[in-house]
Each structure stands twice: as C-alpha cells, then as structure tokens.
Amino acid sequence: MQLGQGWPVWDWPVRVIHWYFPLAIGFMWWSGETGNLELHRWCGYSLLAAALTRLVWGFVGSYHAQFKHFLRGPAAVLAYLRGVPYQGVGHNPLGGWSTLALLLLVFVQGSTGLFSADDITFEAPLAYWVGEHAGTFTEIHELNWGILRTLIFIHIGAIAFYHFVKHQPLVAAMWRGKAEGKVSDKPPRSALWAVIIFLVFVGLLLALHNFAPQAPAYY
C-alpha cells in the first residue's frame, strides 16, 4: 500500500467484470435482434460466467465487493432517498440494491438463454431437455431483456447525474479502482481467486454445451 493513499475501493475483478458488461451486452443486443445466434451463444456463455463470478465474489471477494457490506436495510435506503448524504466508502444504500438487481437480471437473462430456441434453426444447450417449455423460457428471455434494458438506462442516467450534476467522480473510481477522497483501508483479495471461479463456470457451461442431451439428428 502506498502510504496516505489507501487501497482501491473497487478491486480488479469488480472493474473488469463491470466494463465487460456494456461491451458484451451491447453485442448481445445486436446479435439477439439480428439473429446471429451462434455468436450470441458464445458471448452469452462468457457473460453468464462473468455475472456468476461477480455474484460469488459478492460472498467471497474483497471487502467492498461483498453484498453484506453494501446491502443496507430499508431505513438507510429511505434516509438516502430523503436526501441524507451517504458519507461511507463503496456503493450508497440505493446503489447497493441496484447492483444486486442488475447482476440478478444479467444472470436470469443468461440462464434463460440456455433453454431458449428460435423455432427455426437454433437451439440452446438445454432447450431439448425442457421440450415444449423452451418457448416459455424464450418468452422470459425476451421479457427479462425489456426489464434489464430499462434498468441499464436508469443506471447510466443515474451515473450521468452524479457525474455532471453532483460532480462525484464515480466513473473514474470504477475505472481506476479509487478516486480522490474515496479509498479503502482494506486490502483487496487476490484476483486469482476470481479468475479460478470464472474458469470453473466457463468449464461448467462448456460441459453443458458439449454433453447436454440433444435431439437425434435425421439424415
């Protein structure tokens, strides 16, 4: 630690996973809407593994990445909404819950995708397994996308508000890990653990992709 500066609030895994989201979700939007479903599938696996890694990191990761350190009770959220400024380090009481909501919505999006099909040529790895219910999963996949997309727009709007109106360097902090005046006094956990967790999820998804039962081929 450099004396007088402190540790990053956002560790490497939180930041890398975070900036992968806009990149990959933008691609998923394009590939989903245009029917490039083979590309959609592979990017979707990586996004699902990233969201799952961040969810697990919320239990075993660095101090400020852990849910128990930023999910606050209704009194704290209401006080924040009434205008009581948040003086702590890390997500404010409202940002904490929106973090969980965004992560769960990305998880639901990716996991329902695994059961989806486009009724023509494309079947996700678990679509055959759920048979006629694949249609229901595909509908949830589309419905959840509407909710996720709305929350992403609200998220970006809120960040723009903090940036331009309240002059808080949130984007710089999410990019560099810490910003002026906001540092952590807790050392981060080794990012290697997050890499291992990510690789375990990638391995599980590849196993599903390769070994889940598929419809017999007719020649």
Site residues, ligand HEM (CB under 6 A): 14, 18, 21-22, 25, 28-29, 32-33, 37, 40-41, 44-45, 47-48, 54, 91, 95, 99, 102-103, 106, 109-110, 113-114, 116-118, 122, 124, 138, 141-142, 145, 152, 155-156, 159, 170-171, 173-174
Buried b (16+ CB within 10 A) or exposed e, 76-99: bbeebeeeeebeebbbbbbbbeeb
In the complex with ligand HEM, the residue whose CB is nearer, 3 or 18, is: 18
Residue 179, beta-bridge partner list: 182
CB of 191 to ligand HEM, least distance (A): 14
CB of 212 to ligand HEM, least distance (A): 11
In the complex with ligand HEM, the residue whose CB is nearer, 3 or 70, is: 70
- Output DSSP code: residue 121: S
- Label residue 187 left, alpha or beta by phi (over 0 means left) and psi (-120 to 50 means alpha): beta
CB of 217 to ligand HEM, least distance (A): 19
Residue 123, beta-bridge partner list: 117
In the complex with ligand HEM, the residue whose CB is nearer, 80 or 200, is: 80
CB of 71 to ligand HEM, least distance (A): 11
In the complex with ligand HEM, the residue whose CB is nearer, 88 or 187, is: 88
d(CA 157, CA 181): 23
In the complex with ligand HEM, the residue whose CB is nearer, 25 or 197, is: 25
CB of 170 to ligand HEM, least distance (A): 4
d(CA 138, CA 22): 22
- Label residue 50 left, alpha or beta by phi (over 0 means left) and psi (-120 to 50 means alpha): alpha
- Output DSSP code: residue 83: T
- Residue positions counted in the chain: 219
